[in-house]
Amino acid sequence: MTPTLPTEQIDRIVWNQHHDPFTVLGPHEIEQDGKSVWVVRAYLPDAEAVYVVTPDPHKEYPMQSVHHPHFFECIITDSPHLFNYQFRVKSGDSDRLIHDPYYFKSPLLTEFDSYLFGEGTHYQIYEKMGAHPTTIDGVSGVYFAVWAPNARNVSIIGDFNSWDGRKHQMRKGNTGIWDLFIPELTVGTVYKYEIKSPEGHIYEKSDPYGYFQEVRPKTASIVTDLNTYEWNDQAWLEKRRTEDPLKKPISVYEMHLGSWMHASAANPPASGYQSVSAADLKPGARFLTYRELAEDLIPYVKEMGYTHIEMMPVAEHPFDGSWGYQVTGYYAATSRYGTPQDLMYFIDKCHQNDIGIIVDWVPAHFPKDGHGLSFFDGTFLYEPADERIGEHKEWGTKIFNYKRSEVKNFLIANVLFWFDKYHIDGIRVDAVASMIYRDYNREPGTWLANEYGGRESLEAIELFRHLHSILFTYYPGALSIAEESTSWPMVTWPAYSGGLGFNLKWNMGWMHDMLDYFKLDPYFRGHNNNYVTFSIWYAFSENFMLALSHDEVVHGKSPMIGKMPGDEWQKFANLRCLYGYMFTHPGKKTMFMGMEFGQWAEWNVWGDLEWHLLQYPSHKTLQRFVSDLNKLLRSLPELYTQDFSESGFEWIECNDTQNSVISFLRKADNGDFALVVCNFTPVPHHNYRVGVPEKGFYKEVLNSDAQIYGGSGIGNLGGKYADEYGTHGKPYSIDVTAPPLSVVVLKHVNESQN
């Protein structure tokens, strides 16, 4: 049989070198002998015989091999329309019916989708890119789309086609997006993209927009449908939408899901999902699943009184020891702990228990793993080619090309994706400083200045402004928290005013000052009083979050309890004092898991927290103290409604360096106030007079030295009445007892309320 098209076109299909196989394969109407007929072409490498089967009327038309043994053609002259035909394929003992992928010519990705993606404003691009179960012309299957503009050609490979890139070759659109609908594929299909570079090198890549991946060390993507879960958190979402989070109490429990607690490998999860073990876990241990964490973690966090859980990155990553910060699947919830629906269940249950979810987001860098984004289409696509702006040498990772619209769209849509599909409440953006400074951790001569000769990354700055202008429009009440470790100005100012647009920033200065201060022997603290007081000078220049994070209890830095000086009693008293000052200082709060009960060991990503320590009173009482701090924070508007306003804080005494005692007022937006007295030495101070602005009763609502917290039990017998004796520039004063290494909070109560 003579081919109906040039053999060069057939060869390009056979050798998998065609950028648009639809122009060759599938049904085509042609002129033959002066009349219109149909020619159907197929390339089926395993086939011995192929027939075109039409449904109405039911007919079979044998196909003929042309030019190549596995390239088939069939000319149909008696059917004016070809609708939903199938191939009957015979190969050895196999005889099966399949739909022709190249019959379905109309892409689900429209020209308008491509246009928006090209300009970086397709905020739901994840609904079109990736793998999506769908039905076209009554035939169910999966639609695939991937951005690889510089590839010579792209194919979809998987178990369904024996990982043979010749069988499902994709079509390239004008914007460099390749697509193909494959009939009869279903949820659960394992797949990758086989990408051939301009030089002919072949790369097998997981799907950048894939929703699910195999459990590491496997790296293929898995087709899934994220729209099947039925949410029950509508009341939570509506409340979030209508409230200002900066006026609410926020106390975050930062945690790593894989090392909070493990289960026995001999005890499979009730969900049926086999949570895998890591090679470095203790023998017989396995990860808890998302659903098991819902049963164990949520009651604990609720009892402890935290308002939010911050999960270290749950996006897919290949190495457990990276803590999740080297992401290869930005749209895929890690399969270590279960399915996407399992994670949805966990978040849903958190919301039903009034617990918000913050997810760590990592736009600063990505790893070089072969299946990931690095050198994705055989060229520098997601990363700049120039390593002076395209690579973190210290981390051995790539930097996103923030200048490229499609890459910015990938990142901005990724944030919206987590809010949309997983109902998260906030993001904590990792390593912001490494993004906004081009010379971050670089020696002179190893970085590239911006177009104006400066060290600022104008592209990363614009990314943040763009992101936040969209995020808070789409999701009012959301949180975006910057881990920004420098004094970059206006991080939490709106984008329209020239800020980066975050609504919270970790206060790294406060954290370093306080840890340096509390490491000191109390004898020397009076000479270093500025460590305690300096943060108030800048406390209201940004919306700060006070964070004691995972970074402070790893890599030889010592656990929190190990940083404290003195004997064991003083160590715990110092820790209570630190936490008490943290919760009464302006700003929202974040505390890493294990800190709440004084873990003695540094955090180990491979092990459990030291839960056995709770059998000892000092650890149990510290845990109770943190729980009561959280509950106090929730119950006292004085401690949260004006976290970011100078009118919410007033020093009473900050210069008593001889006694290392400070005192200050925290004020609510309705005029109520509370007095805080901190004694940073192990020497109690009786009859310590503190000025107050109003007369009345000052009820002691927290004393970190109480016996129920493991303290000495020195206190103020429930509270003090103000005397008509002025001091500290105030018309009244109270005669308080400042217990050793303590924080005391006294709430002002009007005479009529007493």
- Residues carrying an active site annotation: 430, 483
CA distances from 362 to 331, 725, 744 (A): 12, 56, 39
Q: What share of the chain is helix, strand, coil (3-state, %, to 5)?
A: 30, 30, 45
- Angle, CA of 628, 350 and 236, to the nearest 5°: 100
- Angle, CA of 743, 749 and 753, to the nearest 5°: 150
**Residue with token string 């089926």:** 44
Q: Strand order of the sheet with strand 68-76?
A: 26-32, 35-43, 68-76, 64-66
CA distances from 285 to 271, 281, 709 (A): 17, 6, 33
As given in the structure block, the two tokens for residue 451 are 């177009």
Q: Are 562 and 600 in contact (CB under 8 A)?
A: yes
CA distances from 633 to 251, 601, 619, 636, 640 (A): 8, 28, 21, 6, 7
Q: Which residues of 44-64 are buried (b: 16+ CB within 10 A; e: fewer)?
A: beebeebbbbbeeeeeebebe
* Strand-pair category, 697-703 with 719-721: antiparallel
- Angle, CA of 703, 722 and 713, to the nearest 5°: 20
E strand or H helix that includes residue 432: helix 432-436
Q: Are 624 and 709 in contact (CB under 8 A)?
A: yes
E strand or H helix that includes residue 584: helix 568-584
Q: Using CA atoms, how far apart are residues 597 and 285, in angstroms rounded to an integer?
A: 23
How many CB atoms lie under 10 A from the CB of residue 232?
12
How many CB atoms lie under 10 A from the CB of residue 695?
17
| Helix (H/G/I), strand (E/B), else coil: 581 | helix
| Helix (H/G/I), strand (E/B), else coil: 7 | helix
Q: Using CA atoms, how far apart are residues 99 and 85, in angstroms rounded to an integer?
A: 7
Quickly list DSSP for 479-506.
EEEE---S--TTTTS-GGGTS---SEEE
